[in-house]
Chains A and B, each alone.
Chain A
């Protein structure tokens, strides 16, 4: 069964550093998403991406964050100048149709900011 692949699975970074979280969505999917889960809290929507642009973003997704699809297969989340509160599990997801029939999540990247 096709999978969404995320790398790395764990990343530790110093406060103030930039990190890039990488995702390879399912190949024929057109809609891409990032969610995050701070330890002990619920999963929160960050951003959705379609046709090479952001289609929706949450209040969390401020100027510190950016997304990009640099080539035909990767989808990245960049966090500039990381803060301690950015420590979380970040999930990538993709969908073929962007409808409400559900989409596929990756296994996540655990980001720890120290």
Chain B
């Protein structure tokens, strides 16, 4: 069965400094992995996705993630945080059969300090 573990429930960074949100996955097969962002009282917005193409995936708003099979990781990074990045971030793995349901991580709340 697939699962994801988000290693930090809260991350605080200063505006203009790099962001690193960590995610490890478990999957019997080559996984499809996603990062979603949820701003307060808003829906889930897709940041980026990995589906066995390039291991370095670029997403919206300057975010990117690198798929590392040897480390079973899919960490999300951004070179320079902006105040508007403050939100909850979810790492997601898709089931590899059936209806390809999503399995969500517990989320990381990113706080950006002025």
Give bound CA distance, A35 to B44, whole Å: 11
Which residue of B43, B95, B101, B103 is within 8 Å of A105 (Cβ)?
B43
Which residue of B32, B41, B42, B46 is within 8 Å of A100 (Cβ)?
B32
**Of the 9-residue stretches B18-26, B66-74, B104-112, which lies at the interface with chain A?**
B104-112
Give bound CA distance, A42 to B95, whole Å: 17
Let me know if B96 is at the binding interface, CB within 8 A.
yes
Contact indicator A42/B106 (Cβ below 8 Å): yes
Interface centre among B51, B95, B104, B105 (most CB of A within 10 A): B104
Q: Is the interface of A mostly helix, strand, loop or mixed?
A: strand
Which of chain B's residues have a CB closer than 8 A to the CB of A106? 43
Which of chain B's residues have a CB closer than 8 A to the CB of A31? 99
Contact A102-B99, Cβ < 8 Å, known A42-B107, A43-B104: no
Q: Is the interface of B mostly helix, strand, loop or mixed?
A: loop
**How big is chain B's contact interface, by range?**
20 to 34
Give bound CA distance, A83 to B32, whole Å: 35
Complex: chain B residue closest to A43, CB-CB: B104
Interface residues of B in 80-103 (CB under 8 A from A): 90, 94-96, 98-103
Distance of B89 from chain A, by nearest CB (Å): 12
Give bound CA distance, A44 to B36, whole Å: 14
Distance of B13 from chain A, by nearest CB (Å): 22
Interface, chain B (partner A; CB < 8 A): 32, 34, 36, 41-46, 49, 51, 90, 94-96, 98-107
5 cross-chain pairs, A with B, having the tightest CB-CB distances, nearest first: A107-B43, A100-B32, A48-B99, A100-B94, A43-B104
